[in-house]
Amino acid sequence: MARTVKIRAHEIDGQVTVKSVINHPMETGLRKIKKTGKKIPPHFIKEVIVSRNRRIVMEAFWGKSISRNPFLSFQIAGRKGDLITISWLDNRGNSDSTSAKVR
């Protein structure tokens, strides 16, 4: 399976800026297939966990309203060499996790 999470993290004066994109279709369950009129089943990320050096620093609970391939950007305290990990779980039980060192 190809990686679904891309992370970049860099530190300036003890503040780490993390930018990430999660590759996910994020279907609401409200759209229909034009030819058949049947609804496309919901498929969305419901939980995102961010950790720094294996300690959780952020936990987000998402729903259907988040856009396709969501982009995350946030700042946390840290230093160069810290390990940032982002993991997600969707409503179908799929999940992925990726880590990157702070530069």
pLDDT digits (tens, 9 = 90+) for 55-72: 999 999 999 999 999 999
Q: Looking at residue 100, what is its pLDDT?
A: 98
Q: Which residues lie closer than 8 Å to 75 by C-beta, 6 or more apart? A: 15, 16, 17, 18
The correct CATH number of 5-27+40-101 out of 2.60.40.10, 3.40.50.720, 3.30.10.20, 2.40.50.180 is 2.60.40.10
Check: CB of residue 68 under 8 Å from CB of residue 24. Answer: yes
Using a cut of 0.85, tell me whether the model's pTM lies above it: yes
The pLDDT profile of the chain, 103 residues, written as one tens digit per residue, is 467 999 999 999 999 999 999 999 999 999 999 999 999 999 999 999 999 999 999 999 999 999 999 999 999 999 999 999 999 999 999 999 999 999 9
- Taking the alpha carbons at both ends of the chain, their separation in whole angstroms is 26
